[in-house]
């Protein structure tokens, strides 16, 4: 155990600090979080900032140079230093979206050279927005039962079916999508992972209003959508395997302890600023108790991430350690939101007239959005199956259908 | 940055685990718990030769001069086997207090004896750690101590006891001192007894250099070590629950294939997994980041007390009726977790302290 920086990392931290000092005025004001809750096209300021971060190696730093990245070798501690310094300076860090977090790692692992050349660079710069075509109305947790089909027609596939929970479909230029290409194959063998443009004829998008009041999701309908066979990633019939490598990346994106720490810090300020009968809420033993409970949880997850980084640096798989992050992290964020709302009492339910109500990431919005994250990206129940089966080696529930 | 155990620390972990696995059995726990033997001398000897009581003691006094992180690693293993030995007072808190605040003579007299396991020292700081209850409280008048110290740790069979008066001054009380009466009380954990110490004009030698910080410092250490021990106990309960669920068959299936059972195990695992980092960090902070030691100790113990209680009841539940029996012996771990929770400040107390420490 040694939590100090080695010389190389001390120098790197200094370098990051100098960059921040020299460029902090160029940082955009709109947050990544607000874009995630209400997907819309990135402002020019956001894209410029992202481009700067990619060029300097403060975003997507391990993406090879030939695909538009910085080409640094993997150094988890440097990633951590970047995250810490940007966080402490209150600056937005790399964009997080499904293209950057899910599609790019998938292409790097499974894509053809042409696919990597074409898509990675504009995606990491924030110029191309992707949406994810996985879930269907009848295929949620049981994703592999998906029915959208792609029938062979010469050099093309013809796609028919529909997808749901497709966030950003209305602004996405491209989609990565799971379809059934071998109808006669078994459930897990007949799926392929395709990438194609959202303006291909035959695609219809219908926004899906959510409880947050934002149409952040869509339904997407495919009617005789013709795409070339070259848009398969990772080989025909391998889509399940390819998608699973991507889901792992998504779960990492849905929760991280820095986000939880950020919320906890805001709540600490709220506790002291919010007053009841002239006394700050921080004097209430009940709220103190609730706050410290969550502080211990945030601290445990922050340290847990450090431990996972060290394990990864040692070349050790962390297994169970990684599997719990989505389940615990998303639930923790949800509880933090709930605490903030409760600290504010009646004001906690106002939609206007409180300082933050105009922001789309204020606490009530987060409370609902984070419940969505507990459900999305593999429900809490699916996470528990993963933890118990893959982490603890418990047997699977017998399946009703043949596989 | 390296957030993990060093090779040496892993060796300590490994040697404690192996020694404890070899020397602690359900029968040996039961023998102590039911009062058939007051102390498992063979086990105490083994742990002494491994260096448990000397771990924190300076080399000049025959100790290994290691840090609290190494002690936490050992404590986790003690919890994993529900080892029936005294520990928190005599191996953690008393040596630290003597090293910090003992006179040269006191250190010379006590530290080598503690390190070699020949002598043991109890700790009566329950009032300082968690507030006075049941007329507890010691006052000093002149050179004499008066009053009652409740819930004293590891005092049974000990040679002396570390005790504090109402002003927080620390003393070493000889267990045979005139005017001192010690009454041992059984607790839910039969292997960990508590004592009441009644003092009426008893002589005790002050630790001259002790100040409030000494008391706080050894409380932090005790809390972190307790958290580590409860973590080990909870990890073992989860391991047993998973193992039992895999073996037990009902409705022609292993019950481990039922989601109702699997999800309980997943919840335990998910809650426990980050606790390891909390313990390591608190111990590291104690050793290297003094200003964070108190808060980290409060956060670690309060959180692990809660998680361990959840695991203790849930792992028992997964065992079904067998978990409720004495045959499986699962209750020894259940009780160790319950015992530790109440020592040196329960979670509510620790959270209140944590809020105070941060200026709320």
Q: What is the mean pLDDT of each run of 10 residues along chain B (360 residues)?
A: 95 98 97 92 96 97 97 98 96 97 96 96 96 94 94 95 93 96 94 96 94 94 98 98 98 96 98 98 97 97 98 98 95 98 98 96
DSSP codes of every residue in A36-54: HHS--PPPHHHHHHHHHHH
pLDDT above 90 coverage of chain A, percent: 71
Q: What is the mean pLDDT of residues A152-166?
A: 96
Residue spans in chain B of domains classed CATH 1.10.540.10: 7-115
Q: Does pLDDT of A358 surpass 60?
A: no
Dihedral of CA atoms A70, A71, A77, A79 in degrees, nearest 10, equals 30
Cβ atoms of B195 and B155 closer than 8 Å: yes
Identify the CATH assignment for B7-115 out of 3.40.50.920, 3.20.20.140, 1.10.540.10, 1.10.10.10.
Answer: 1.10.540.10
The candidate with the shortest Cα–Cα distance to B73, out of B24, B4, B1, B25, is B4
Q: What is the mean pLDDT of residues A253-280?
A: 89
**Whether residues A234 and A278 fall in one domain:** no
More confident residue, A79 or B4: B4
Q: Does pLDDT of A351 surpass 80?
A: no
Say what the pLDDT of residue A156 is. Answer: 97
CA distances A344 to A339, A367, A368, Å, are: 9, 14, 17
**Whether residues A296 and A177 fall in one domain:** no
Provide, as residue numbers in chain B, all residues whose Cβ is less than 8 Å from the Cβ of A3: 1-3, 284, 288-289
Residue spans in chain B of domains classed CATH 1.20.140.10: 212-357
Provide, as residue numbers in chain A, all residues whose Cβ is less than 8 Å from the Cβ of B72: none
**Whether residues A166 and A288 fall in one domain:** no
Of A238, A265, A287, the residue that ends a domain is A238
The candidate with the shortest Cα–Cα distance to A294, out of A257, A256, A259, A332, is A332
Provide, as residue numbers in chain A, all residues whose Cβ is less than 8 Å from the Cβ of B227: none
Q: List the single best residue of A310, A330, A388, A399 to mutate versus B (max B Cβ within 10 A).
A: A388
**Of A76-90, A123-137, A347-361, which has the strongest mean pLDDT?**
A123-137
Q: What is the mean pLDDT of residues A114-127?
A: 96
* Bridge partner residues of A130 (DSSP): A174
Say what the pLDDT of residue A390 is. Answer: 95
Residue A387 maps to which CATH number? 1.20.140.10
Give exposure, A293-318, as e/b (b: 16+ Cβ within 10 Å). Answer: bbbbbbbbbbbbbbbbbbbebeeeeb
A198 falls within a domain: yes
**Whether residues A229 and A352 fall in one domain:** no
More confident residue, A312 or A267: A267
CA distances B267 to A181, A325, B41, Å, are: 37, 12, 38
Instruction: Kindly give, in sequence order, each residue whose CB lies less than 8 Å from that of residue A74, ignoring residues fewer than 6 positions away.
Output: A62
In which domain, by residue range, is A69 found?
Answer: 7-96
Say what the pLDDT of residue A121 is. Answer: 97
Give the CA angle between residues B30, B31, B37 to the nearest 5°: 150
**How many angstroms separate the CA atoms of A279 and A297, rounded?**
27
Does the beta-carbon distance from B274 to A282 stay under 8 Å? Answer: no
Pairing of strands B121-124, B160-164: parallel
Instruction: Kindly give, in sequence order, each residue whose CB lies less than 8 Å from that of residue A175, ignoring residues fewer than 6 positions away.
Output: A130, A131, A132, A133, A166, A169, A195, A196, A197, A198, A220
A110 falls within a domain: no
Q: What is the mean pLDDT of residues A93-100?
A: 89
Distance from the Cα of B39 to chain A's closest Cα (Å) equals 34
**How many angstroms separate the CA atoms of A57 and A65, rounded?**
10
DSSP codes of every residue in B49-94: HHTTTTTTS-GGGT-----HHHHHHHHHHHHHTT--S--IIIIIIH
Q: Does pLDDT of A252 surpass 70?
A: no
**By the CB < 8 Å criterion, does B286 face chain A?**
no
Pairing of strands A174-180, A130-133: parallel
**How many angstroms separate the CA atoms of B44 and B57, rounded?**
17
Provide, as residue numbers in chain B, all residues whose Cβ is less than 8 Å from the Cβ of A85: none
Distance from the Cα of A387 to chain B's closest Cα (Å) equals 6
A170 falls within a domain: yes
**How many angstroms separate the CA atoms of B204 and B216, rounded?**
21
Of A212, A238, A264, the residue that ends a domain is A238
* Bridge partner residues of A156 (DSSP): A153, A228
Say what the pLDDT of residue A360 is. Answer: 58
Say what the pLDDT of residue B189 is. Answer: 95
Provide, as residue numbers in chain A, all residues whose Cβ is less than 8 Å from the Cβ of B253: 398
Of A181, A203, A238, the residue that ends a domain is A238
Provide, as residue numbers in chain A, all residues whose Cβ is less than 8 Å from the Cβ of B305: none
The candidate with the shortest Cα–Cα distance to A302, out of A328, A266, A271, is A328
Distance from the Cα of B284 to chain A's closest Cα (Å) equals 7
**How many angstroms separate the CA atoms of A8 and B350, rounded?**
39
Within 226-245 of B, beta carbons closer than 8 Å to A belong to: 242, 245
Nearest residue in A to B8, CA atom: A1
Does the beta-carbon distance from A328 to B2 stay under 8 Å? Answer: no
Residue A113 is a catalytic residue: no
Cβ atoms of A167 and A175 closer than 8 Å: no
Say what the pLDDT of residue A60 is. Answer: 92
Q: How confident is the model at residue A142 (pLDDT cuts 50, 70, 90)?
A: very high
Q: What CATH number should be reported for the domain whose range is B212-357?
A: 1.20.140.10
Q: List the single best residue of B231, B273, B303 to mutate versus A (max A Cβ within 10 A).
A: B273
8-state DSSP, A203: E
* pLDDT tens-digit readout, A191-221: 999 999 999 999 999 999 888 887 778 999 9
Residue A215 maps to which CATH number? 2.40.110.10
Cβ atoms of B62 and B110 closer than 8 Å: no
Residue spans in chain B of domains classed CATH 2.40.110.10: 121-206
Pairing of strands A191-197, A174-180: antiparallel
A25 falls within a domain: yes
Say what the pLDDT of residue A296 is. Answer: 98
On average, the pLDDT of chain A sits at: 91
Nearest residue in A to B283, CA atom: A1
Catalytic residue among A15, A55, A136, A250: A250
Say what the pLDDT of residue A399 is. Answer: 75
Pairing of strands B160-164, B194-203: unpaired
**Whether residues A369 and A325 fall in one domain:** yes
A269 falls within a domain: yes
Say what the pLDDT of residue A167 is. Answer: 87
Per the structure, the count of domains in chain A is 3
Q: How many CB pairs under 8 A join A and B?
A: 159
What does residue B23 show for φ and ψ, rounded to 5 degrees?
Answer: -105, -10
**Whether residues A233 and A271 fall in one domain:** no
**Whether residues A233 and A278 fall in one domain:** no
* Global confidence as pTM: 0.94
3-state helix, strand, coil in chain A (%, to 5): 50, 15, 35
Token pair of B303, please?
């959180």
**Whether residues A382 and A268 fall in one domain:** yes
**Whether residues A232 and A149 fall in one domain:** yes
Say what the pLDDT of residue B293 is. Answer: 97
Does the beta-carbon distance from A309 to B3 stay under 8 Å? Answer: yes
Say what the pLDDT of residue A41 is. Answer: 87
Distance of CA B122 to the CA centre of its chain: 12
Q: What is the fold, at CATH topology level, of the domain defined by B121-206?
A: Butyryl-CoA Dehydrogenase, subunit A; domain 2 (2.40.110)
**Residue where the block lists tokens 């699973």:** A244
Does the beta-carbon distance from B257 to A310 stay under 8 Å? Answer: no
Say what the pLDDT of residue A402 is. Answer: 54
């Amino acid at each position: 155990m040694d939590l100090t920086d080695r010389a190389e990392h001390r120098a790197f931290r200094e370098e990051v600090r100098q960059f921040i000092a020299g460029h902090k005025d160029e940082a955009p004001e709109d947050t990544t979080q607000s874009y995630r809750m209400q997907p819309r096209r990135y402002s020019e300021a956001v894209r410029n900032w992202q481009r700067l971060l990619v060029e300097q190696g403060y975003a997507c730093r391990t993406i090879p140079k030939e695909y538009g990245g910085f080409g640094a070798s993997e150094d988890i501690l440097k990633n951590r230093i970047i995250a810490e310094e940007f966080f402490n300076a209150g600056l937005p860090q790399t964009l997080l979206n499904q293209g950057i977090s899910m599609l790019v790692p998938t292409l790097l692992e499974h894509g053809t050279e042409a696919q990597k050349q074409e898509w990675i660079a504009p995606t990491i710069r924030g110029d191309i927005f992707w949406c994810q075509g996985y879930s269907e109305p009848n295929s949620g947790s049981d994703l592999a039962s998906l029915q959208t089909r792609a029938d062979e027609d010469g050099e093309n596939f013809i796609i028919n079916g529909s997808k749901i929970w497709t966030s950003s479909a209305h602004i996405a230029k491209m989609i990565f999508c799971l379809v059934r290409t071998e109808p006669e194959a078994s459930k897990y063998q007949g799926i392929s992972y395709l990438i194609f443009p959202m303006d291909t004829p035959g695609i219809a998008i219908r926004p899906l209003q959510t409880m947050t009041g934002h149409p952040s999701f869509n339904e997407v309908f495919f009617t005789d959508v013709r795409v070339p066979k070259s848009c398969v990633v990772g080989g025909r019939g391998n889509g399940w395997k390819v998608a699973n490598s991507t889901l792992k990346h998504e779960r990492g994106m849905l929760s991280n302890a820095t986000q939880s720490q950020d919320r906890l810090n805001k709540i600490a300020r709220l506790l002291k600023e919010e007053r009841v009968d002239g006394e700050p809420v921080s004097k209430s033993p009940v709220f103190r108790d609730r706050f410290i409970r969550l502080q211990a949880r945030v601290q445990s997850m922050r340290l847990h991430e450090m431990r996972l980084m060290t394990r990864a640096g040692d070349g050790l798989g962390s297994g169970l350690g990684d599997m719990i992050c989505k389940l615990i992290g998303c639930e923790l964020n949800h509880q933090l939101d709930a605490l903030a709302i409760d600290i504010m009492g009646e004001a906690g339910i106002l939609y206007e007239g409180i300082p933050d109500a105009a922001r789309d990431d204020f606490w009530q919005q987060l409370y609902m959005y984070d419940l969505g994250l507990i459900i999305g990206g593999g429900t809490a129940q699916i996470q528990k199956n993963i933890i118990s089966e893959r982490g603890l080696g418990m047997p699977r529930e017998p399946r009703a259908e043949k596989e | 940055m390296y957030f993990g155990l060093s090779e040496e620390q892993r060796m300590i972990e490994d040697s404690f685990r192996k020694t404890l696995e070899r020397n602690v059995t359900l029968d040996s726990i039961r023998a102590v718990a039911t009062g058939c033997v007051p102390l498992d001398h063979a086990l105490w000897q083994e742990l002494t030769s491994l260096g448990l009581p000397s771990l924190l003691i300076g080399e000049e006094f025959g100790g290994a001069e290691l840090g609290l992180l190494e002690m936490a690693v050992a404590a986790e293993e003690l919890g994993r086997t529900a080892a029936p030995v005294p520990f928190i007072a005599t191996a953690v808190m008393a040596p630290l207090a003597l090293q910090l605040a003992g006179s040269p003579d006191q250190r010379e007299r006590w530290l080598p004896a503690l390190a070699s396991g020949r002598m043991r020292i109890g700790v009566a700081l329950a009032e300082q750690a968690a507030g006075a209850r049941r007329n507890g409280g010691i006052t000093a008048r002149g050179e004499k101590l008066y009053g009652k110290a409740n819930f004293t740790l590891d005092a049974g069979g000990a040679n002396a006891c570390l005790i504090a008066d109402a002003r927080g001054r620390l003393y070493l009380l000889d267990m045979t001192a005139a005017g001192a009466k010690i009454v041992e009380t059984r607790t839910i954990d039969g292997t960990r007894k508590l004592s009441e110490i009644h003092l009426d004009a008893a002589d005790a030698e002050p630790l001259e250099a002790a100040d409030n910080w000494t008391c706080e410092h050894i409380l932090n250490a005790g809390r972190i070590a307790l958290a580590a021990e409860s973590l080990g106990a909870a990890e073992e309960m989860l391991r047993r629950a998973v193992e039992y669920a895999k073996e037990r068959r009902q409705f022609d299936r292993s019950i481990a294939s039922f989601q109702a059972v699997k999800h309980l195990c997943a919840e335990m695992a998910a809650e426990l997994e980050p606790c390891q980092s909390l313990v390591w960090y608190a111990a590291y902070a104690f050793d290297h980041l003094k200003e964070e030691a108190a808060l980290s100790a409060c956060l670690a113990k309060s959180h692990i007390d809660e998680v361990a209680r959840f695991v203790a009841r849930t792992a028992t539940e997964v065992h079904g009726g067998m978990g409720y029996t004495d045959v499986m012996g699962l209750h020894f771990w259940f009780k160790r977790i319950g015992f530790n929770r109440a020592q040196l400040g329960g979670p509510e107390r620790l959270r209140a302290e944590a809020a105070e420490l941060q200026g709320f």
